[in-house]
Amino acid sequence: MSNRVYIFDTTLRDGEQSPGVSLNINEKLQIARQLARLGVDIIEAGFPITSPGDFAAVQAVSREVRGVTVAGLARANFKDIDGAYEALKEAEQARIHIFLATSDIHLKYKLRKDREQVLEAAVAAVKYAKKYTSDVEFSAEDASRSDVDYLSRVFGEVIKAGATVINIPDTVGYVTPEEYGRFIRQVMDRTPGIEKVVVSVHCHDDLGMAVANSLAAVGAGARQVEGTINGIGERAGNTALEEVVMGLYTRKDLYGLTTGFNTKEIYRTSRLVSSLTGMPVQPNKAVVGKNAFAHESGIHQDGVLKERTTYEIMNPEMLGISSNNLVLGKHSGRHAFREHLSQLGYDLTDEELNLAFGRFKALADKKKEITDQDLQALVEDEIRQI
Ligand code: KIV
Ligand code: ZN
């Protein structure tokens, strides 16, 4: 089994399903370009059939972002698949991502179909998508609450029909790590043809276990992890990808696995997503929270000053958090100012930068030290509102 874990980012699709979040096409492009720099393997750019805006965003990302696979979501019907391909067709590598629920609860109340009908629809959809692209992912929505034998049968048939990735979502964030790891192993043991495809996981955080569940699944043999930056998403959110990647990296001794992530871009990506979605990152959030590397108690401070690894298991510089934080004040120049804003995830036009720099100088005259919060407020309240 390969030791490479593929990272599938769905910030622009599942992440955008966070209540209150709506990104315009330019914001989506900015995020997609940054995700490519970050080194994600797949960007799920949207669900093209749902709206003209989503269609246009998937099309723009496909056209303009290179070096990654671009995925578009589709239900298991021909119209959705046609729409997804139409939006994706200029991508360097296009993936059609089809989903259909397999749990009895979804079959009975949502789809009003029996198991055989769902199986048939899944196979027909995958076969249809294959005429457009070789790269087809099939997600069994609510897989973790599905009957394992039925689920494995569905996966076996969609693999025969040409699926190259099978995804086992914990759609409602219900499972625990031990349970999910066991479930992934059972599916892998029972699904014919499983060795030909990539096994993927997609977890939600309703019980706060999305990252732990994803890592348990990887331990059990999954080789694609789906999630979002900062863990944003529907309800309590999705797996926070930066946490999974740093978990795999920091505990390489345990997992022995690698990703293609350029970890130095993590902090910048987190800031960009937070500023464009308007979803703040909680201060004590793992990896990217403001306090993630702050040491308050005297004993900890003393330890870190003597030897960093006494209380730090990750090096903040690895995440792109610079340790020689340039302090900005009234003598700071435009270059340091731009650099600092970029580290906070703001990529301003020249015109916005000029405006922001003028306001910053005015503020610096009144305030000796300008904090990151001051800069965030300045950009978000004064520049982005204009
Ligand atoms: O949570 C889920 O099941 C999904 C699928 C569309 C993969 O988002
Ligand atoms: Zn989801």
Does the pLDDT value for residue 386 go beyond 70?
no
Residue 27 token pair: 């914001």
Residue found under tokens 């979002």: 228
Which ligand does the CA of 106 lie closest to?
1
Q: Cα of 14 to ligand 1 centre, how many Å?
A: 8
The H or E element spanning position 9 is strand 6-9
Is 14 marked within a binding site?
yes
Predicted local distance difference test score (pLDDT) of residue 368: 74
Residues 6-20 have a mean pLDDT of 96
Q: Which of 50, 61, 64 is nearest to 17 (CA)?
A: 50
Which ligand does the CA of 171 lie closest to?
1
Nearest atom (ligand 1) to Cα of 14: 8
- Percent pLDDT > 90 in the chain is 78
Each residue of 274-320: pLDDT tens digit? 989 999 999 999 999 988 987 777 788 788 878 889 989 999 999 99
Q: Which residues surround ligand 2, an ion (CB under 5 A)?
A: 14
Predicted local distance difference test score (pLDDT) of residue 324: 47
Q: Cα of 256 to ligand 1 centre, how many Å?
A: 28
Is 365 marked within a binding site?
no
- Kindly report the protein residue whose alpha carbon is nearest to atom 1 of ligand 1: 171
Cβ of residue 171 lying under 6 Å from some atom of ligand 1: yes
138 phi and psi angles, rounded to 5 deg: -115, 125
Is 204 marked within a binding site?
yes
- Report if pTM > 0.90: no
Cβ of residue 141 lying under 6 Å from some atom of ligand 1: yes
Does the pLDDT value for residue 263 go beyond 90?
yes
Q: Checking phi first, is residue 2 left (phi over 0); if not, alpha (psi -120 to 50) or beta?
A: beta
Residues 356-382 have a mean pLDDT of 82
Predicted local distance difference test score (pLDDT) of residue 192: 98
Is 202 marked within a binding site?
yes
Query: Do residues 155 and 183 lie in contact, with contact meaning Cβ atoms separated by under 8 Å?
Result: no
Q: Cα of 75 to ligand 1 centre, how many Å?
A: 11
Predicted local distance difference test score (pLDDT) of residue 293: 86
Residues 22-51 have a mean pLDDT of 97
Which ligand does the CA of 144 lie closest to?
1
Q: Cα of 304 to ligand 2 centre, how many Å?
A: 39
Does the pLDDT value for residue 326 go beyond 70?
no
Residues 165-192 have a mean pLDDT of 98
Average pLDDT, the chain: 93
Q: Cα of 288 to ligand 1 centre, how many Å?
A: 25
- Residue 385 CB partners (closer than 8 Å, separation 6+): none
- Percent pLDDT > 70 in the chain is 98
- Kindly report the protein residue whose alpha carbon is nearest to atom 2 of ligand 1: 171
Does the pLDDT value for residue 335 go beyond 90?
no
- pLDDT band of residue 170 (cuts 50, 70, 90) is very high
Which ligand does the CA of 142 lie closest to?
1
Rounded CA separation 263/348 (Å)? 23
- Kindly report the protein residue whose alpha carbon is nearest to atom 7 of ligand 1: 139
Q: Which of 245, 288, 123, 63 is nearest to 115 (CA)?
A: 123
Question: Which of 9, 42, 44, 99 best tests ligand 1's pocket when mutated (most atoms within 8 Å of CB)?
Answer: 99
